[in-house]
Amino acid sequence: MKSILAIITLSCGLILSGPASAAITGQWDFNSGNLSATLGTDLGYRGDTAGSTVFTTAAIGGETANVMQFPAALATQGYILTHGMGANGGGSFVNQYSLIMDIMFPSTSTGQWRGLFQTSPDNSNDSDFFVNTSNGIGISGTYHGAIVADTWHRVALVMDLTLGTEQMRKYIDGTLVGTQTLSSGVDGRWSLDTTALLFTDEDGETASGMVNSIQIHDLALADSYILALGGATADGISLIPEPATGLLLGVGLLAWMVRRRFARS
């Protein structure tokens, strides 16, 4: 029994000494038919976007989900995302983060630019993450993967501006479809102030679509975590955060030692 207690003590020490897990600082699932947050701060309408927004239902994976239909936004429209993250990555702004969203664009959007994420709070320049006219995701002439029309996809953007290269990683339905090196690093164009914008662009490169779930983390998530999330589901994105390295190590060591203990008895 003392040996088991010692193992537990050691494991707890490893858990406490390990790095903190990635916090989910905001999630929006539209189950209440409005912009209220499941976690964090409610989204906000920009300009008169409320009049062009429809809360409805859609089938995702054979199940019914509550979703938001957003318009092809004008420059004065869109949605305000207050992410709740503090400055990180050694800068004055948020330089490490992950954004995940379950989205669907109808066939009428094919061949159009579709702004997904805008880091400029006043929409004063080009949006910072798009679906392009060939249905790939990215920015600055570098696009990967395919957003298929009339199909629900789980799109993830993972940003780490502290890296020298490949600061942006892009995923569709859990699969890494591409990485790219950006033109600015810490506290540059892709860093975040206290708010960002969704589904808008400064010169109207947008299209109407639907969103079922949006989630944001204060860390650049690992490939394995995004893979485990998989594709879009009616239930939305899991609210279980990425586990800390120390937690996994502690739990794994505890399980291994306990198995050895009982195997001998």
Question: What is the per-residue pLDDT across 151-180, written as a single tens digit (0 to 9) for each?
Answer: 999 999 999 999 999 999 999 999 999 999
Count of C-beta atoms within a 10 Å radius of residue 56: 12
Give yes or no for a contact between 30 and 55, defined as CB atoms under 8 angstroms apart.
yes
Could you read off the pLDDT of 176-215 as tens digits, one per residue? 999 999 999 999 999 999 999 999 999 999 999 999 999 9
- Span 123-136, average pLDDT: 97
- Span 53-71, average pLDDT: 98
With respect to residue 261, please indicate whether it lies within any of the assigned structural domains.
no
CA angle 197, 203, 206 (to 5 degrees): 65
Write down the pTM of the prediction: 0.85
Domain that holds residue 81: 24-237
Q: Give whole-number Cα distances, 93 to 148, 161, 166, 214, in Å.
A: 34, 11, 19, 21
Residue 36's contacts (CB-CB under 8 Å, 6 or more residues apart) are 28, 42
Interatomic CA distance for residues 136 and 253, integer angstroms: 42
With respect to residue 9, please indicate whether it lies within any of the assigned structural domains.
no
pLDDT value at 15 more than 50: no
Interatomic CA distance for residues 244 and 11, integer angstroms: 13
What is the predicted pLDDT for the residue at 132? Answer: 98
pLDDT > 90 fraction of the chain, expressed in percent and rounded: 82
Q: In the numeric block, which tokens belong to residue 182?
A: 């950006």
What is the predicted pLDDT for the residue at 233? Answer: 98
* Segments of the chain assigned E as strands: 24-28, 44-45, 54-60, 63-70, 79-82, 96-104, 114-118, 129-131, 137-139, 142-144, 153-160, 168-172, 175-180, 195-198, 209-217
**Spatial CA neighbour of 196 closest among 93, 103, 113:** 93
- Span 67-77, average pLDDT: 98
What is the predicted pLDDT for the residue at 152? Answer: 98
Interatomic CA distance for residues 154 and 145, integer angstroms: 12
pLDDT > 70 fraction of the chain, expressed in percent and rounded: 83
With respect to residue 207, please indicate whether it lies within any of the assigned structural domains.
yes
pLDDT value at 19 more than 50: no
Could you read off the pLDDT of 79-126 as tens digits, one per residue? 999 999 999 999 999 999 999 999 999 999 999 999 999 999 999 999
CATH code at position 163 = 2.60.120.200
> 241: pLDDT confidence band, cut at 50, 70 and 90?
confident
pLDDT value at 240 more than 60: yes
What is the predicted pLDDT for the residue at 243? Answer: 64
Residue 76's contacts (CB-CB under 8 Å, 6 or more residues apart) are 46, 47, 48, 123
The burial class, CB within 10 Å (0-12 / 13-18 / 19+), for 214 is buried
pLDDT value at 25 more than 50: yes
With respect to residue 2, please indicate whether it lies within any of the assigned structural domains.
no
pLDDT value at 262 more than 80: no
With respect to residue 257, please indicate whether it lies within any of the assigned structural domains.
no
Q: In this structure, what DSSP letter does residue 99 have?
A: E
What is the predicted pLDDT for the residue at 51? Answer: 98
- Span 3-18, average pLDDT: 35
Interatomic CA distance for residues 24 and 88, integer angstroms: 15
Q: How many residues does the chain have?
A: 265
With respect to residue 5, please indicate whether it lies within any of the assigned structural domains.
no
With respect to residue 196, please indicate whether it lies within any of the assigned structural domains.
yes
- Span 11-29, average pLDDT: 62
With respect to residue 253, please indicate whether it lies within any of the assigned structural domains.
no
Residue 263 Rama label (left phi>0; alpha psi -120 to 50; beta): alpha
| Number of domains present in the structure of the chain | 1
Q: Average pLDDT over the chain, rounded to whole?
A: 87
